[in-house]
Structure 1
Amino acid sequence: MIRITVNDEEHLFDEETTIQTMLKELGLDDKIVVVVLNDDIVNSENYANTMLKDGDKIELVRIVGGG
């Protein structure tokens, strides 16, 4: 298991976890969330192949439409 901090809360995930898998486990739609991994924005096209590592810090920002 690896420890990942998501929006200042610690979570445990399997070692082979990608950003896409993490979002699914957290019940989030990858189309309405921007992922910041260790202070870098991750392109949503890379969610499926970006592996998480023990100690990573993630900020999730929900996209909200308005007008």
Structure 2
Amino acid sequence: MVTVNGEDVVLDENSTVATMLTTLGLPDKGIAVAIDWAVLPRSEWDRVLPDGAKVEVVTAVQGG
């Protein structure tokens, strides 16, 4: 189980950041992902999420 934006989520074993986004119906563009308070570059979204990880998915907002 991981926590995504403050909500506990059960994922398949060996789920990656990319598969988590797809499973949860989240976009894969215009967002930033942090695991345990460290921003994860898109090039590392194939990393397996450790059990108990705290994940934050933040959507970029444009404005002025």
User: So what's the TM-score if we normalise by structure 2?
Assistant: 0.91
The alpha-carbon deviation at position 31 of structure 1 amounts to 1.1
**C-alpha separation in 1, matches of 2:49 and 2:16:** 6
Q: Which runs of 4+ in 1 moved over 6 A?
A: none
Partner in structure 1 of residue 52 of structure 2: 55
- Which deviations, in whole Å up to 9, do the C-alpha atoms of 1:9-67 show, x marking residues without a partner? 000000110000000111111112110101100001211x2110110001111012235
Partner in structure 1 of residue 2 of structure 2: 4
Identity of aligned residues (%): 39
Partner in structure 2 of residue 23 of structure 1: 21
Give ranges in structure 1 of 5+ residues lacking alignment. Answer: none
Partner in structure 2 of residue 45 of structure 1: 43
User: So what's the TM-score if we normalise by structure 1?
Assistant: 0.87
Instruction: Report which of the two has the higher share of strand.
Output: 1
**C-alpha separation in 2, matches of 1:26 and 1:66:** 26
